[in-house]
A and B are shown apart, each in its own frame.
Chain A
Amino acid sequence: MKYVDEYRDGELARAIAATIAAEARPERIYRFMEFCGGHTHAISRYGVEDLLPPNVRMIHGPGCPVCVLPVGRIDEAIALARLPDVTLCTYGDLMRVPASGGISLTKAKAGGADIRMVYSTLDAVRIAESEPDRKVVFFAIGFETTTPPTAMAVLAAQKKGLSNFSIFCNHVLTPAAILAIFESPEVKTLGAVEIDGFVGPAHVSTVIGTRPYEPFARNYHKPVVISGFEPLDVMQSILMLVRQMNEDRSEVENQYIRAVTRDGNLRAQAIVADMFELRESFEWRGLGQVANSALRLRDAYAAFDAERIFPIARSNAQDNPACECGAILRGVKKPAECKLFGTACTPETPMGSCMVSSEGACAAHWTYGRFRDAAKMRAAE
């Protein structure tokens, strides 16, 4: 497959692996957090860790949009979907995320709620257009990558004069989450998780550019390399991070030059800025309340805001206390260190969101990587 296979070439991978092994200093440990679930997935699916020397370690970050959505917001979406005239349209990977009381969107659908999976925000607009008796709510989630498509759906609905389309807005901001990780007690003072550098977002950066990461490199002295989602992109970015550390540099470098510029997609940024404003605070699973980390519709678009149209009670439901999703999302714990991992919590019976999305650290480790735990246990015996 052209333009895909080239980025998954095994021979090139081995060549980069050899360079990383040669340049990584044996007396040092290199701990890199890949922020995005897309990177986590690629690392697990292609077995990237097998190609790295033991002193270059990857820590999975919180950049999985499904994973960071708190239970309360899923509860609220289910409450919306259960209103008699409402049709809730959602991306498919939200369907199985556990809400409170053992419910999920899948179970609410089986119980009679009108919940439909869509592949595009515009599909939701089409449903609103063709079924004027239904009040169609789009369950809008994700980082800066998925916000512009949500904005385009609202504009399309406005242009068509649809009064039965709205969005339940949960869009969140990447730089705020990275800041929260730097400022979290574990990273800042306890030292429980040390991060030496970041494999920075791919698709998010196509929208926001590389400029927003510059303060992190400057203020926290951590190298950042913006990386594509293909496995060779990740390998090359790891090499670039190793070199920055060896040369004692802390800069924002761009490996994903085929798609990312310093300024990003200015048109998308303008559309989003026109339609959305910052929430003072928003709850993230794993990070708790994070100031200025999420978006809501501006007053001018109130007619499309499901939170203002429908009387939905706020849910403050919390995760199962045994679930370690929070610590895993901050990189403090590894999936296999959670007591529920692989016992009570599997992709079939997920207790936490990290086990649901294919971009979640737990799902990726369970689905692709758990043979390494078995190998480690055998080695220990």
Chain B
Amino acid sequence: MSGVMRPVGRKLDLKNGRVDLTHGSGGRAMAQLIADIFHVAFDNEWLRRADDQAVFDVPPGRLAMTTDGYVISPLFFPGGDIGSLAVHGTINDIAMSGARPLKLTASFILEEGFALADLKRIADSMGDAARGAGVPIVAGDTKVVERGKADGVFISTAGIGVVPEGLTLSANRAQPGDVVIVSGSMGDHGVAIMSCRENLQFDTDLLSDSAALHELTARMVATAAPSLRLMRDPTRGGLAATLNEIAHQSDVGVRIAEGAIPVKPSVAAACELLGLDPLYVANEGKLVAIVAPEAAQALLAAMRAHPLGAEAAIIGEIVADQNRFVQMTTSFGGGRIVDWLSGEQLPRIC
């Protein structure tokens, strides 16, 4: 969307209009779409310059960079939409390195026939999420494909942030004896999405937990930096996938207690009904932290002092295990493995 000035002419019909192929052709229609929807929604000094790229100073330190794609269905869901999700998800990927997120970019693949009103709603939500997080969307791109070649809108993002000096967080740093902490209840996002899928609607007050976690992670770094080994957000594949990734990357085992893992009753009930396991259901506003035992209580207290970590809990510990198993003591009293997810539990969840 860079290089575009507001063209002369009639405004877009944001009430009844639809995306057509001219909106991606590089002509006046595209300029108008970008000006009337994206520039209005994202407005910031870099976009206003209308160059093909954003140019900005970076603070000293190492940079963290990430990219992400969003194809969620449905586009609007309880607690968010594809736009806010794209902003939160990208910020979280940066924040898990301990970095302070600086800037975002967004690229849109639009399907011919997509309602402009819906596109505006998504762009406005993205703009709100970015402003709320204090991380501007400084560059973008728009493409249109024929009807049937996409599903409404797909969003690709990039994000960049700066890592505080001396901080190295990585999933290969977990050591036996370390403590495993989650920032809140597991499975809210996935179950909220399932509740509005057309073939299995059910009534629930549950909202997606979609949220930007960088303020929480900044506090965590400030509290426990030298003892904090890693943070990771358990998105697709849920807590189970994240713990298995950590076990493999660090060549350790993980032992958790089922009774210690926060799961909302409505999530537990929906999972029971649908035959899902909350440990495998996606989250979009939660994180897993691994921390040395001596800093665990201080970190837990710091997390609980932030609204997005109010329900943080210690759920287990890292152990030496050449098999790199994630093992759980069930509330029933037995033991089991918490394995990787096999196959597809919930398609197009983010």
**How far does the alpha carbon of A9 sit from the alpha carbon of B332 in the complex, in Å?**
6
User: Is B339 close to A, CB under 8 A?
Assistant: yes
Once bound together, how far apart are the Cα atoms of A348 and B343, in whole Å? 7
B268 at interface, CB cutoff 8 A:
yes
Q: Which of B199, B265, B323, B332 contacts A48 (CB 8 A)?
A: B332
> Is A49 part of the binding interface, using a Cβ–Cβ cutoff of 8 Å?
yes
Between-chain CB contacts (< 8 Å), 18 pairs: A4-B268, A9-B332, A10-B330, A10-B332, A13-B332, A45-B330, A46-B330, A47-B330, A47-B333, A50-B334, A118-B199, A119-B200, A123-B199, A347-B339, A347-B342, A347-B343, A369-B336, A374-B325
Tell me which residues from 302 to 332 in chain B have a Cβ below 8 Å from any Cβ of chain A. 323, 325, 327, 329-332
A1 interface residue (CB < 8 Å to B): yes
A319 CB to nearest chain B CB (Å): 20
Chain A residues within an 8 Å CB radius of B329: 47
Chain A: CB-nearest residue to B266:
A1
Q: Is B335 an interface residue (CB 8 A)?
A: yes
Cβ–Cβ contact A367 & B337, under 8 A: yes
- Residue B269 CB within 8 A of the other chain: yes
Chain A proximity mask over B333-350: 1 for CB below 8 Å, otherwise 0: 111110100110000000
Docked complex: A41-79 residues within 8 A CB-CB of B: 44-51
Give the contacting residue for B336; candidates A4, A9, A47; CB below 8 A: A47
B265 / chain A contacts, CB cutoff of 8 Å:
1
Q: Taking CB as reference atom, which chain B residue is nearest A93?
A: B275
* Besides A10-B331, A347-B343, 18 new A-B residue pairs in contact (Cβ under 8 A), listed by A number: A1-B272, A4-B269, A9-B332, A10-B332, A10-B333, A17-B333, A45-B330, A46-B332, A47-B329, A47-B333, A47-B336, A51-B332, A95-B343, A119-B199, A231-B332, A368-B339, A370-B337, A374-B323
Q: Are B331 and A348 in contact (CB under 8 A)?
A: no
Chain B, residue nearest A106 (CB): B343
CB neighbors of B among A357-381 (8 A): 358, 363, 366-371, 374
Contacts of A44 in B (CB 8 A): 336
User: Are B332 and A47 within 8 A (Cβ)?
Assistant: yes
Those of A4-35 within 8 Å (CB) of chain B: 4, 8-10, 13-14, 17
Please measure, in the bound complex, the distance between the C-alpha atom of A5 and the C-alpha atom of B343, giving whole angstroms: 28
Q: Quote the shortest CB–CB distance from A356 to chain B (angstroms).
A: 9
Closest A residue to B345 by beta carbon equals A92
The interface size of chain B toward A, counting residues with CB under 8 Å, comes to: 23
**Measured CA separation A95–B344 after assembly (Å):** 11
Minimum CB–CB distance from B233 to chain A (whole Å) comes to 24
Answer whether residue A203 sits at the interface, using C-beta atoms and an 8 A cutoff.
no
A358 to chain B, nearest CB (A): 8
Q: What's the Cα separation between A45 and B328 when bound, in Å?
A: 10
User: Are B336 and A14 in touch, CB under 8 angstroms?
Assistant: no
Q: Which residue of chain A has the shortest Cβ distance to B322 in the bound complex?
A: A374
Whether B323 pairs with A49 at a CB distance below 8 angstroms is no
B191 CB, nearest partner CB in chain A, Å: 13
Which chain A residues lie closer than 8 Å to B334 at the CB level? 46-51
Known: A1-B265, A1-B272. A371 touches B332 (CB 8 A): no
B327 contacts across to A, CB distance below 8 A: 371
Among candidates A8, A370, A371, residue contacting B331 with C-beta atoms closer than 8 Å: A8
CB of A96 within 8 Å of the partner chain: yes
Interface string of A261-275 (1 = CB under 8 A from B): 000000000000000
Once bound together, how far apart are the Cα atoms of A38 and B334, in whole Å?
Answer: 17
Chain B residues with Cβ under 8 A from A8's Cβ? 331-332
Please indicate the chain A residues that have their CB under 8 angstroms from the CB of B268 in the complex: 1, 4
| B339 lies within 8 A of A4 (CB) | no
- Please provide the 5 A-B residue pairs with the shortest distance between their CB atoms, ordered closest to farther: A47-B334, A347-B342, A50-B334, A368-B336, A46-B332
Residue of B nearest to A358 (CB): B275
B337 touches A14 (CB 8 A): no
CB distance from B254 to the nearest CB of A (A): 12
Kindly name the residue among A44, A49, A118, A367 whose own CB sees the greatest number of chain B CB atoms within 10 A: A367
A17, B200: Cα distance in complex, Å: 39
Are A47 and B335 in contact (CB-based, < 8 A)?
yes
In chain A, positions 106-144 with a C-beta closer than 8 Å to chain B are 118-119, 123
When distances are taken between beta carbons in the complex, the residues of chain A under 8 Å from B342 are: 347-348, 363, 367
